[in-house]
Amino acid sequence: MFGTILISVSTFMHVYVFWRAASIPFIDQHLSRKALVGAAVILWVLFYLGRVIGHDGTGLPAQVLEFLGMTWMAVLFLIFVPLLAIDIITLFGFLLSRWAPSLRAGAVLAGLVLSLIALIQGMRPPVLEKYDVSVAGLSESLDGTLLVALSDMHLGSQLGEKWLAARIAQVSAQRPDLVVLLGDIFEGHGSPDSQVIAAFKQLSAPLGVWAVTGNHEFHGGGDLSLFEELNFRLLRNSWAEVKPGFVLAGVDDLTGRHRRGLTGDPIAQTLAGAPAGAVILLSHTPWEAERAGQFGVDLMLSGHTHGGQIWPFDYLVRRRYPLLEGRYEVDGMTVIVSRGAGTWGPRMRLWSPGEILHVTLRRRTGTGATGIGPP
């Protein structure tokens, strides 16, 4: 269903962009209508093959197709937005009719410049975002514990072993006490390369490497047996006491529950029976934050949103995910939503650079251990 919607929306943008491009004087003077239509068809086919064959395939041809097809999809979007803005301002040329064609040319140029910026930003390594979080119930011995979180790496045809090795080196250089993976570790189409698995085995921390599922972990039927080969522990609607009084809990991706129509209270299920102390909840999707706060969670770490990835798409994403990126305080609980280390679809980001979370846990003085349970 998602693929059908994506292809339909992209097809509409194709028709609109090339229709408006035909009215730009420079294009009209240098390209025949037949050439313009031919270019539109070739680029649409490239996008379609990138989505259907490249996305689900393996090997170099699939990688090239997906990269080109997804890049064109993003470029198309970044041209579509300013073109539509100009048409709204000029009422599709009824106002400022003399200037409208030139304004459309400026819109196309702006879209191309933004696309270049987004491609450069998307290719850059993720930045390190540092946070200090005060945690009730954290023991004195754990004061200053450093947690590093990676989210939305989307390892697959576009991001592979070399990219992962660089991220592991980036994480290891911080000397973390604890590493957590916040879901969408793998893209989910095709089995990960053996070199990717080997690289993952280099990731370690004194208090362990922990993970939760994202929506992409359930693509292709949700076979999670791969995690048994890796050196980190998967938390599935469960908790673990990492150290006495220090609890790490993880909930399965909440969007997957929503799509499958599952009912119940996943937060209550996940935290049932957890001992008193400092509690960190890992949830790929930044939903149910208020519920987590009611259950005494001190810190909730999430991803999934990519921070919108490509502006101005973030304005649409925020409507479904109000906790879009960065730090929030919800009912006395800190929530940090990562923009993700990798990218989904195009290797492009506009004003939303990829990030790795660097979270230092500080003991909150003057408070005792918190209890876990319903309000």
User: In the chain, what are the domains?
Assistant: 2-123 (no CATH), 127-363 (3.60.21.10)
* pLDDT at residue 367 is higher than 70: no
User: What predicted TM-score, i.e. pTM, was given to this entire model?
Assistant: 0.93
Rounded Cα distance, 342 and 348, in Å:
10
Confidence of residue 308 (pLDDT cuts 50, 70, 90): very high
> CA-based Rg of the chain, rounded to a whole angstrom?
23
Q: Each residue of 54-107: pLDDT tens digit?
A: 766 667 787 888 899 999 999 999 999 999 999 999 999 999 999 999 999 999
Parallel/antiparallel/unpaired status of strands 333-337 and 326-330: antiparallel
Query: In terms of Cα–Cα distance, which of 124, 149, 114, 144 is closest to 132?
Result: 144
- Lowest-confidence region among 48-57, 159-168, 259-268, 333-342: 48-57
CA distances to 121, 223, 375 from 263, rounded to whole Å, are 40, 22, 20
The residue type at 22:
A
* pLDDT at residue 11 is higher than 60: yes
pLDDT at position 264 is 83
Q: Each residue of 230-271: pLDDT tens digit?
A: 888 999 999 999 999 999 999 999 998 767 777 789 999 999
Confidence of residue 327 (pLDDT cuts 50, 70, 90): very high
Task: Count the Cβ atoms, other than its own, within 10 Å of residue 231.
Answer: 11
Rounded Cα distance, 62 and 50, in Å:
7
Residue positions counted in the chain: 375
> Which residue shows structure tokens 């690289």?
199
Q: What is the mean pLDDT of the chain?
A: 91
Task: Over range 294-317, report the average pLDDT.
Answer: 96
Q: Are 25 and 102 in contact (CB under 8 A)?
A: yes
